């Protein structure tokens, strides 16, 4: 038997099945990557607290205060080091309630959750429906990429980009963090794919998309801070839009910004009015940028007709 052709490997059906598997892994990324980053940041903070020279330069603290901060830093470092080892691959998935390690058949995308009835087989604790939702969403998006691009390198590029976007959206939704581990590879992917002509975006358009994507939101945040005196948007949002601009070209930026802003405004008003969400509590903008970017990817031609760009 020969190697399957690109028409088979990059068909919507095969990519859809691959998306289910990747979605299962993305659930792990969404859960663990923020914890890994926060462990690293706490370790860095512990090191700074023990840096007497830095404490003295910044705070001009007394020796007693410097020693107190040093002890707190040492205690924090010990707490971080005492945490159980964790990576994106270890330990294996387990129930957070009873520690039951999931068997291979319990980890089958979608089917495992359905077979268990959405409950842990050991203790009966409910398993969040988000897990199959992420798997199904990723599968549908991968299949859509295969339908959109056909058996071309662009299909593989779009699938990789969509995996990064799904992880970024859910992490931002949970933690208001947009890790560089996801946004910077998206920028690089868009630029390299354009350079290699794997996507229909020309390299100058991808480069301008990255530039204007970053600095358009940076400028909005800069003006907002001048007017209101508070930070209205985080740098992760700038990098995420830069990645979408690199992937889709600068021409897609108006569609992404308008769609994400409109949906974000409606959801934000709903949460404040109907859910009592505090006005000073940040609402993550990343999921709306991702939604706008996905719409621009699949419906860019139709959207561009609404606001034509010369």
* Average pLDDT score over the chain: 89
Across 260-282, average pLDDT: 67
Domain assignment present for residue 270? The answer is yes
Does the pLDDT at position 80 exceed 90?
Answer: yes
Identity of the highest mean pLDDT range in 106-115, 241-250, 275-284: 241-250
Domain assignment present for residue 55? The answer is no
Does the pLDDT at position 227 exceed 90?
Answer: no
Pull the structure tokens for residue 124.
Answer: 């009966």
Across 253-287, b (16+ Cβ under 10 Å) vs e yields: bbbbbebbeebbeeeeeeeeeeeeeeeeeebbbbb
Does the pLDDT at position 96 exceed 60?
Answer: yes
Neighbouring residues of 272: CB distance < 8 A, sequence distance ≥ 6: 279
| DSSP 8-state secondary structure symbol assigned to residue 280 | T
Domain assignment present for residue 236? The answer is yes
Domain assignment present for residue 24? The answer is no
pLDDT band at 143 (very low <50, low <70, confident <90, very high): very high
Total domains present in the chain: 1
pLDDT at position 70, please? 92
Does the pLDDT at position 270 exceed 70?
Answer: no
Domain of residue 258 covers 156-310
Q: What is the pLDDT of residues 153-173, one digit of tens each?
A: 999 999 999 999 999 999 999
Domain assignment present for residue 223? The answer is yes
Measured at the CA of 266, the angle between CA 138 and CA 140, to 5 degrees, comes to: 10
pLDDT band at 91 (very low <50, low <70, confident <90, very high): confident
Of 116-130, 187-201, 224-238, 273-287, the one with minimum mean pLDDT is 273-287
Domain assignment present for residue 20? The answer is no
Domain assignment present for residue 221? The answer is yes
Does the pLDDT at position 226 exceed 80?
Answer: yes
Q: What is the pLDDT of residues 285-306, one digit of tens each?
A: 899 999 999 999 999 777 766 6
Residue 79 has phi, psi (to 5 degrees) of: -65, -40
Does the pLDDT at position 231 exceed 80?
Answer: no
Domain assignment present for residue 247? The answer is yes
Alpha helices in the chain (DSSP H): 6-9, 12-49, 52-59, 63-82, 111-116, 130-149, 153-175, 180-195, 203-228, 235-248, 253-273, 286-304
Pull the structure tokens for residue 115.
Answer: 């077979």
């Amino acid at each position: 038997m020969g190697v399957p052709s690109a028409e088979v490997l990059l068909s919507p059906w095969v990519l859809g099945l691959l998306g289910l598997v990747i979605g299962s892994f993305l659930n792990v990324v969404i859960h663990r990557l923020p914890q890994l980053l926060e462990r690293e940041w706490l370790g860095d903070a512990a090191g700074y607290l023990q840096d007497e020279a830095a404490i003295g330069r910044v705070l001009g603290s007394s020796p007693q205060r410097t020693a107190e901060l040093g002890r707190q830093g040492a205690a924090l470092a010990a707490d971080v080091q005492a945490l159980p080892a964790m990576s994106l691959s270890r330990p294996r998935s387990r129930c957070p309630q009873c520690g039951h390690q999931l068997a291979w058949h319990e980890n089958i995308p979608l089917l495992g959750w359905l077979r268990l009835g959405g409950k842990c087989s050991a203790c009966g604790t409910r398993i969040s429906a988000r897990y199959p939702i992420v798997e199904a969403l990723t599968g549908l998006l991968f299949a859509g990429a295969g339908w959109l691009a056909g058996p071309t390198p662009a299909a593989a590029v779009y699938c990789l980009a969509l995996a990064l976007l799904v992880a970024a959206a859910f992490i931002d939704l949970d933690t208001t963090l947009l890790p560089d581990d996801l946004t910077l590879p998206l920028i690089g992917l868009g630029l390299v794919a354009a350079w290699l002509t794997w996507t229909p975006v020309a390299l100058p358009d991808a480069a301008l998309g990255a530039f204007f994507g970053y600095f358009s939101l940076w400028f909005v945040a800069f003006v907002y801070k001048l007017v209101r005196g508070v930070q209205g948007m985080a740098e992760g949002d700038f990098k995420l839009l830069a990645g979408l601009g690199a992937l889709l070209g600068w021409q897609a930026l108006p569609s992404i910004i308008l769609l994400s802003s409109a949906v974000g405004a409606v959801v934000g008003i709903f949460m404040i009015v109907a859910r009592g969400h505090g006005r000073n509590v940040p609402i993550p903008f990343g999921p709306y940028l991702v939604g706008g970017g996905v719409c621009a990817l699949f419906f860019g031609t139709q959207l561009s007709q609404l606001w034509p760009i010369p």
